[in-house]
Amino acid sequence: MRTAVALCLALLLLAPLQGDLTPVEDTLPLQDQSSNETIITVDSTNLRFSPSSVTVSEGETVRFFWSGQALPHNAVEANGVFNSGDPERNVDYAFTFELGMNGTYDFVCEPHAALGMVGQIIVDPAPTPPPANQSDNQTNVSQDEDMDTPALPVVMALATVLLAAAVRTRRD
């Protein structure tokens, strides 16, 4: 009987510890680099690009996208780096800033530039990519170590409790 009681107590002690350790696996760093497209649309109420100023990194794409506008618009870079073409009511034009294109790019909507329909894109140098695979492996290894370290004393304690209970049962 005492062995069973000791076992139950040991399991009760063990259960919350396991509960605390499990969430460690859920704290992996999120690496969401799938969405690197910045959309610039048109504020048709006051003839503005929205947003009129964006900051992106090299390798990222700016997409000029609007549809069903009352007036036709376009987006033309001051030095012709990009040009969405003739002013249109429906525009879906994307431009990707390649490596080495960091800088500041001013653009206008040609029909409405005088009305202040202008914008600016700031392109930052590409961030140096981290060695993704290596850091993942290191993270996993350290997590395994973290989980092994507290588990061993728990097993030792459980064995000690069971041993003591067995000894007492024999004495009785």
Residues making contact with Cu ion (CB under 5 A): 73, 109, 112, 117
Which three-class secondary structure state does DSSP give residue 60?
A: coil
Q: Which is nearer to Cu ion, 10 or 49 (CB)?
A: 49
Task: Indicate the residue among 69 and 143 with the shorter CB distance to Cu ion.
Answer: 69
Q: Rounded CA gap, 104 and 122, in Å? A: 5
Question: Shortest approach of Cu ion to residue 48 CB, angstroms?
Answer: 9
CB of 107 to Cu ion, least distance (A): 11
For Cu ion, the closer CB: 117 or 165: 117
Of 103 and 116, nearer to Cu ion (C-beta) is: 116
Q: Smallest Cα–Cα separation from 41: which of 60, 61, 69? A: 69
- Nearest approach in angstroms of CB 45 to Cu ion is 12
For 98-119, give one letter per residue: b (16+ CB within 10 A) or e: eeeeeeebebbbbebeeeebbb
Which residues does 95 contact at the CB level (< 8 Å), separation at least 6? Answer: 61, 62, 63, 64, 81, 82
CB of 132 to Cu ion, least distance (A): 41
